[in-house]
């Protein structure tokens, strides 16, 4: 889904887009917060994965 907010949009237009966004999003992302347990720092993991490509 793509919502376009143009420069200079009125407050009413922004509120309308916000309502559309909230009505389309049925996923509760907070229920996934803290579920992944990492053994290392996320940045360290990312760097090691990138090094595998070389």
Tell me the pLDDT band of 33, cut-offs 50, 70 and 90: confident
Q: CA 22 → CA 14, 35, 42, distances in Å?
A: 12, 24, 30
pLDDT at residue number 44: 93
The predicted pLDDT at position 50 comes to 92
3-state secondary structure the chain: CCCCCCCCCCHHHHHHHHHHHHHHCCCCHHHHCCCCCCCCCHHHHHHHHHHHCC
The verdict on residue 34 lying in a domain is yes
30 pLDDT higher than 80? no
Indicate the number of domains in the chain. Answer: 1
Q: What is the pLDDT of residues 1-29, one digit of tens each?
A: 677 888 898 999 888 888 887 776 676 66
Q: Evaluate whether residue 6 is within a structural domain.
A: no
Q: Which domain holds residue 39?
A: 28-54
Residue 7 lies in a domain: no
Q: Do the domain assignments include residue 21?
A: no
């Amino acid at each position: 889904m793509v919502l376009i907010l143009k420069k200079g949009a009125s407050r009413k237009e922004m509120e309308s887009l916000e309502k559309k966004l909230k009505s389309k999003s049925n996923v509760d992302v907070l229920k996934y917060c803290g579920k992944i347990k990492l053994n290392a720092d996320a940045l360290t993991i990312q760097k090691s994965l990138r090094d595998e490509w070389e």
